[in-house]
Amino acid sequence: MDGEDVVRVLLVGDNPKSFSLSRQLLELNACECHFARSVEAAEDLVRLWQFDIVLSTHRVPSNAIQRLVGLLSGSGTSLFACLRVEEGLWWLPVLQFGKDCYGPAFLVGEFARILDDLRRQLRIER
């Protein structure tokens, strides 16, 4: 896999452990993962690198998600926010390739399919 095929992912949340299942899946799929403990730290990283995917454990709606939307809107980045439900964790698309896109939400286990779809679309755009 060359440098252009690498999918760069930013994980934004209070604790890196909250991303453990998603991160394992991402790394198994040759994604380059970075972690930011706060939106401010995420802003610093976004100034350094272009991220293809951002996963945030901040809830929708929240000030943190709105700040991330403002930061990533128009950038080509896909942003997903965490939805905690009794059955576990769902991911809600908030931006797709930098454009507003709310829903549909999907389980962590479905993330492999979503990642494959995003990777295919990224190859087309690059």
Mean pLDDT of 98-117: 86
Give the angle subtended at the CA of 4 by the CAs of 119 and 124, to the nearest 5°: 45
Q: How far apart are CA 75 and CA 78, in angstroms?
A: 9
Domain count, the chain: 1
Task: Please give the Cα distance from 45 to 14 (Å, whole number).
Answer: 16
Check whether 3 has a pLDDT greater than 70. no
- CA geometry: angle at 119 spanning 112 and 38, to 5°? 75
Residue 22: give its domain's CATH number: 3.40.50.2300
Residue, of 111 and 66, whose pLDDT is higher: 66
Residue with tokens 């951002």: 54
- Answer yes or no: pTM beyond 0.95: no
How confident is the model at residue 98, as a pLDDT? 94
For residues 35-60, give the mean pLDDT: 93
pLDDT of 13 reads 93
Task: Go through 58-90 and write b for each residue having 16 or more CB atoms within 10 A of its CB, e for each that does not.
Answer: bebeeebbebbbebbeebbbbbbbbeeeeeebb
pLDDT at 126: 64
DSSP 112: H
Contact 40, 18 (CB under 8 A): no
Structure tokens at 96: 């797709």
pLDDT at 1 over 70: no
Query: Could you tell me which residue, 90 or 95, shows the higher pLDDT?
Result: 95
Q: What is the pLDDT of residue 53?
A: 94
Give the mean model confidence (pLDDT) for residues 46-51: 94
Q: Which of 38, 106, 90, 31 is nearest to 68 (CA)?
A: 38
The domain containing residue 35 runs over which residues?
A: 3-125
